[in-house]
Every structure is written in structure tokens, then in C-alpha cells.
Amino acid sequence: MKEESIDWNGEESTVRKITIEVEKYWFGVNKRQVIIYTKKFGCGISNFEKGKVYFFVSHVENGKLVTTVCDYMFQEYFTESEFSVILGKAKTFKKTR
């Protein structure tokens, strides 16, 4: 997890830049490793641990994949299986040899 300053809705904000390995996805992902941003303060999520598996709900903001407490709260109400009912089976990347 790396920290940097970026423009967040017209305001400079310190964010956490997290590189994640994607196992399954529905849309918005085009490669196995993606970078996701979250604010360091305010509505950011600070409790990500390396090596743990997470179910992300995120959105695109200024061309960056972002997750906030609001997205995180939303995911607590809906599980992966509930998303599957709405959006169909999650996609996976082909295994490489």
C-alpha cells in the first residue's frame, strides 16, 4: 500500500494506492492486477491486509478505480452470490502457464 496526493473532486487529497490481484469480476476490470484507490482520511478504508481476500465494490472517479466507505457499506448488504443473481456468473481470467 502506497500513499500519494491526487486531485479528488477538485481537492488535493492523500490517498492509499493499493495493487490487487483479481480472481473474479463482473465488469470494469481488464487485467489480473489492478490499482484501486481509497482516501487515507474521511471516507477512505484503512483496514486492508496483504494476503487477505476481499470482495470489492468500487466506482471510477477521474479515471481511477476508487472504493470508499459508502462502497464498502454497500458490499456488506450484498454478497457475491447476490451479485451473481443480478449480474450473472462472475468472470475469471484464463490461467497462464
- Classify residue 77 by burial, with Cβ atoms within 10 Å: 0-12, 13-18, 19+: exposed
Q: Which domain holds residue 32?
A: 2-87
Q: How far apart are CA 61 and CA 49, in angstroms?
A: 23
Residue 60 domain-assigned? yes
Residue 57 domain-assigned? yes
Whether 37 contacts 17, CB under 8 Å: yes
Number of domains in the chain: 1
Residue numbers in the chain where pLDDT is lower than 50: none
Residue 69 domain-assigned? yes
Residue 64 domain-assigned? yes
Give me the pLDDT at residue 32, please.
Answer: 92
Give me the pLDDT at residue 33, please.
Answer: 92
Predicted confidence (pLDDT) per residue in 65-81, tens digit: 888 777 655 555 667 78
